[in-house]
Chain A
Amino acid sequence: MSAAAVMDRQVNVWQNKLKSNIKVAGSGSPVVFLHGAGGLVWDQFLDTLARRHTVYAPEFPGTTPGDPDAIAQIDNLWDLVLYYDELLGSLVSGPVPVIGHSFGAMLAAELAAHHYDRVSKLVLMCPIGLWREDVPIPNWMIAPPEDLPNLLLSDAKGPLAQQMFGGEPQPEMQIKMIWSMACTGKFIWPIPDKGLKKRIHRIHAPTLVLWGRQDRLVPVAYAQEFAGRIAGAKVELIDRAGHLLTAEHPARVAETIENFLSAG
C-alpha cells in the first residue's frame, strides 16, 4: 500500500493573526490528529489512518517552518483551547473525532471538555494533564538527553532506538524538536497540571484511553486516572509499547483506534 499524499493547507484564524498550517491526507470521514510536544511527524501511523479517513493534523503554533514567532499570539491555555476550537471549526463542519498524543492528548481533552459539540469521539494516547504526587512525570525539557530513549521507548536499545537516537545529531531535526518543546512548554511549564482535573468531567464524547504498558515518561498508572474521570471511557493497553507507541506499533495502534471509531 503506497503512502498517502500529504498536502499542506493554510487557514487564517485568530483575527487573521495566525496562518495555521495543517497537514491533510487521505479520504473518507474526517479525523483530527493533535501531535505531542516533539512536533508533528507524518509517519506510518498517520498513513494508516489516512487509508480510511481524511486526516487533519494541525501544526502547533510556532512549529511551522518559517513562522517560529506565531506562538507569541497565544498567551495561555484559555487562548489555546479557543484557538483550536476556532481552527477545527474552520476545517470541518460539525463534530469530528479528535485523536491526541501526549501533549496533544491533553489539548484534545481540554477541547472536548470546553466544547461538547466539537468532538464526536475522543482518543487520548498517553495524555499528560493530570498529576499524582506518587507518580511524578519526568520533565522531558530538562531530562538528560541520554535518558530519552528509555523514557520514550519500550526498548531503549532496540532498532527503533538506534534509528531515532543512534546516529550523529542532525542540527535541523534538533532545532525543530527543541522549538516544538519550547512552544508546547509554554502551556505546561514547569508541571503539566494546569487544572484539567477540574474540567475533565465535562467530557461527553465517547472516549478511548490508549497507553503503552512500558511508558516510562507518563506511566501507565495515569490511564485509570483519566478513564476514571470520563464517563464511559474505555482503556486499552498496548504491550511492548512506550510513550511513542505510534512509532513502535503504528499498525496495531491505528487498528485499535479504527475499531473504536467504527463501533456504534
Chain B
Amino acid sequence: MYISTFHLMPHRELPGDFEKRYPSVWVTPPFHELADARRIGQFYNWTLDELTAAARAGSDGICTNEHHQNAYGFMPSPNLMGAALARETNGLDCAIVQIGASLPGTQPPIRIAEEYAMLDSISGGRLVAGMPLGTPMDINISYGITPLEQRERYREAHDLIVKAWTAKEVFPWNGKYFQLPMVNIWPRPVQQPHPPVWIPGSGSASTFYYAAEHNYCYCFLSYFGYKSVSRPVRDKYWEVCAEKGRDENPHRMGFLQLVGVSETDEQAEKDYARHVEYFYHKCLHIPPNWLGIPGHNDYNATVNALTKSAVGRNFAALKEKKYKDFLEDRYVVCGSPATVRGQLKDLCQTLRVGNLMVLLHIGSMPHELTLKNIRLFFEEVAPALRPMWADYENLWWPAGLRRKVAQEAMA
C-alpha cells in the first residue's frame, strides 16, 4: 500500500451562513467580500507546510491539483505548489504527485510536458504525472473550453505530451486542436521513458477505458465514501481492466478518502465534526446542473447520469447530513487510530485500492489540528496499512521510490 497526502487548499474561514447567502462556492463567490489576500497567502503557506510535514512524517507521496475560480480548493497552478514541494522534500523518499495540471485548459499542452519535466528534474525523478480532464466549472465555465470538445481535446493533449517527453527527434504536431511546427522540449523527464501517469476521475466509464487502454492508474476522486457509491465504480473499473487484458494489480486503482485521527472516537468528533460539516455543506456547495453541463459528458455518460447515477442525488442530499451521517455512511473515516485502521483496511480491501490518497486537511481545519492529524495518521495508522498488497509491485510509482516486492510473490 502506498499512501499519499492530498491537499485541496480550501478557504478555511468562510462565514457560517455562506451556503445560504451565496449561490455557489465555484465561479461566482465574490473574493473581495469573502477573503483577504494576505490571509489567503497564509493559507497557501500553511498548505505547503502541511504537505511538507506529511512528507517528513512518512507520507509516500504528496498531492496537489488544479481548480479555478472557487473557494473549495484554489490552486490554479498546482505546478507552482509542486515546485516548492519538490525543492522542500529533496532527500526524502516522497513522490511529488501532481494530480494535477488540467490538460484541456492548458494551451499549448506541451507547457505541462515542460513543467512536469522540470518537476521531475528538480525532485530527482520523484514525479507522478496526473492527467486530469478538469471539472466543468474549471474548464468549461472558467476557462471557456467547449464542453463537447473537452474529452477529445484532452486525448489529443495527452498524445502530444507523451510524444513531447519521448521523441528523440524534433517533430511537427498537426492536430485538430493544436498545431506546432517544431516540438523539442527542454528539459526531459529524469524517469524514462516518462513518469508514471495517473488519471483522476469521478466514475465515468469512458475514463476507465482510457486508463485501462493506456495501462495507467485510475484514481477515483469521490467524496461519497466506499460503502455505496464506490462499489459499482469498483466493479465496472475492474471489469474494464479485465476486458482490456490488464491484470488485477491493486495499484492500478487510486482512491481519495477524507480521514481524521484523534486519541479516541469521542475526541475525533470534537476535533473534526464541524470541519467535516463545513466541507460538505460549504466547500461542495455547487449547483447540481453545473456537474452535467451539456457536452461535458459524452452521450453514454449523459444517459447514465440521468438514468442510473447517484451522484446528483448524493450532492442534493449533502446539506441535510450531519457529522454522524457522514461517519455512518463512511463518507469520512474519523476516529481513534484503531477505528481508522480498521475502516481504511476494509476500504482498500473492498475497492482493491493500492494507491490510497488521504485528505488530512478538511475544510476549515486550522493548521495545528491538521498537524496533529498528520502526526497521528502516520504514527498510528499508516504502518498498519503499508503491508497490504506487498506482493504486487507498484508499477505506477517512481521506480526509485518503490519498495521491494514481498518474497513469497517473488518465489
Q: Does B172 contact A (CB under 8 A)?
A: no
A138-177 interface code vs B (CB 8 A; 1 in, 0 out): 0001101100000000000000000000000001001100
Q: Does B173 contact A (CB under 8 A)?
A: no
Contact A190 B144 (CB under 8 A): yes
Given contacts A142-B290, A185-B294, A190 and B148 within 8 Å (CB-CB): no
Q: Provide the residues of chain A in CB contact with B147, threshold 8 Å.
A: 141, 182, 185, 189
Q: Provide the residues of chain A in CB contact with B144, threshold 8 Å.
A: 189-190
Contact A71 B148 (CB under 8 A): yes
Q: Does B293 contact A (CB under 8 A)?
A: yes
Q: How far is the CA of A174 from the CA of B303 in the complex (A)?
A: 9
Could you tell me the distance in whole angstroms from the C-beta of A189 to the nearest C-beta in chain B?
4
Contact A178 B294 (CB under 8 A): yes
Q: Provide the residues of chain B in CB contact with A180, threshold 8 Å.
A: 294
Q: Does A186 contact B (CB under 8 A)?
A: yes
Q: Does B31 contact A (CB under 8 A)?
A: no
Q: Provide the residues of chain B in CB contact with A144, threshold 8 Å.
A: 287, 289
- From 117 to 152 in chain A, residues with beta carbon under 8 angstroms from any chain B beta carbon are 141-142, 144-145
Contact B289 A145 (CB under 8 A): yes
Q: Does B311 contact A (CB under 8 A)?
A: no
Q: Does B140 contact A (CB under 8 A)?
A: yes
Contact B287 A181 (CB under 8 A): no
Q: Does A69 contact B (CB under 8 A)?
A: yes
Q: How far is the CA of A178 from the CA of B152 in the complex (A)?
A: 19
Contact A185 B306 (CB under 8 A): no
Q: Does B191 contact A (CB under 8 A)?
A: no
Could you tell me the distance in whole angstroms from the C-beta of A252 to the nearest C-beta in chain B?
31
B123-153 interface code vs A (CB 8 A; 1 in, 0 out): 0000000000000000011001111110010
Contact A185 B141 (CB under 8 A): no
Contact A179 B287 (CB under 8 A): no
Q: Provide the residues of chain B in CB contact with A183, threshold 8 Å.
A: 148, 295
Q: Provide the residues of chain A in CB contact with B145, threshold 8 Å.
A: 189
The one of B141, B146, B292, B299 that contacts A186, using a Cβ cutoff of 8 Å: B146
Q: How far is the CA of A166 from the CA of B390 in the complex (A)?
A: 57
Given contacts A71-B148, A75-B176, A185-B148, A141 and B293 within 8 Å (CB-CB): yes
Contact A142 B289 (CB under 8 A): yes
Contact B148 A186 (CB under 8 A): yes
Could you tell me the distance in whole angstroms from the C-beta of B26 to the nearest C-beta in chain A?
11
Which single residue of chain A is at the shortest CB-CB distance from B23?
A: A144
Contact B302 A182 (CB under 8 A): yes
Contact A175 B141 (CB under 8 A): no
Q: Provide the residues of chain A in CB contact with B306, threshold 8 Å.
A: 171, 174-175, 178
Query: A171, A180, A183, A185: which has the most chain B beta carbons within 10 Å?
Result: A185
Interface magnitude class on chain A? 20 to 34
- From 68 to 86 in chain A, residues with beta carbon under 8 angstroms from any chain B beta carbon are 68-69, 71-72, 75
Q: Provide the residues of chain B in CB contact with A179, threshold 8 Å.
A: 294, 299, 302
Q: Does B307 contact A (CB under 8 A)?
A: yes
Which single residue of chain B is at the shortest CB-CB distance from A181?
A: B294
Q: Provide the residues of chain A in CB contact with B294, threshold 8 Å.
A: 141, 178-182, 185
B38-67 interface code vs A (CB 8 A; 1 in, 0 out): 000000000000000000000000000000
Q: Provide the residues of chain A in CB contact with B152, threshold 8 Å.
A: 72
- From 300 to 328 in chain B, residues with beta carbon under 8 angstroms from any chain A beta carbon are 302-303, 306-307
Contact A186 B149 (CB under 8 A): yes
Q: How far is the CA of A75 from the CA of B152 in the complex (A)?
A: 11
Which single residue of chain A is at the shortest CB-CB distance from B296?
A: A182
Contact B302 A175 (CB under 8 A): yes
Could you tell me the distance in whole angstroms from the C-beta of B286 to the nearest C-beta in chain A?
12
Could you tell me the distance in whole angstroms from the C-beta of B78 to the nearest C-beta in chain A?
24
B279-290 interface code vs A (CB 8 A; 1 in, 0 out): 000000001011
B49-93 interface code vs A (CB 8 A; 1 in, 0 out): 000000000000000000000000000000000000000000000
Q: How far is the CA of A185 from the CA of B292 in the complex (A)?
A: 14
Q: Provide the residues of chain B in CB contact with A174, threshold 8 Å.
A: 306
Query: B146, B152, B295: which has the most chain A beta carbons within 10 Å?
Result: B295
Which single residue of chain B is at the shortest CB-CB distance from A184?
A: B294
Contact A178 B148 (CB under 8 A): no
A59-99 interface code vs B (CB 8 A; 1 in, 0 out): 00000000011011001000000000000000000000000
Q: Provide the residues of chain A in CB contact with B149, threshold 8 Å.
A: 186
- From 172 to 210 in chain A, residues with beta carbon under 8 angstroms from any chain B beta carbon are 174-175, 178-183, 185-186, 189-190
Which single residue of chain B is at the shortest CB-CB distance from A68?
A: B299
Q: Provide the residues of chain A in CB contact with B176, threshold 8 Å.
A: 75
Q: Provide the residues of chain A in CB contact with B140, threshold 8 Å.
A: 142, 189-190
Residues of A within 8 A of B (CB): 68-69, 71-72, 75, 141-142, 144-145, 171, 174-175, 178-183, 185-186, 189-190
Query: What are some 20 contacts across the A-B interface (CB < 8 A)?
Result: A72-B152, A141-B147, A141-B295, A142-B140, A142-B290, A144-B289, A175-B303, A178-B302, A178-B306, A179-B299, A181-B295, A182-B147, A182-B294, A182-B295, A185-B148, A189-B145, A189-B148, A190-B140, A190-B141, A190-B146
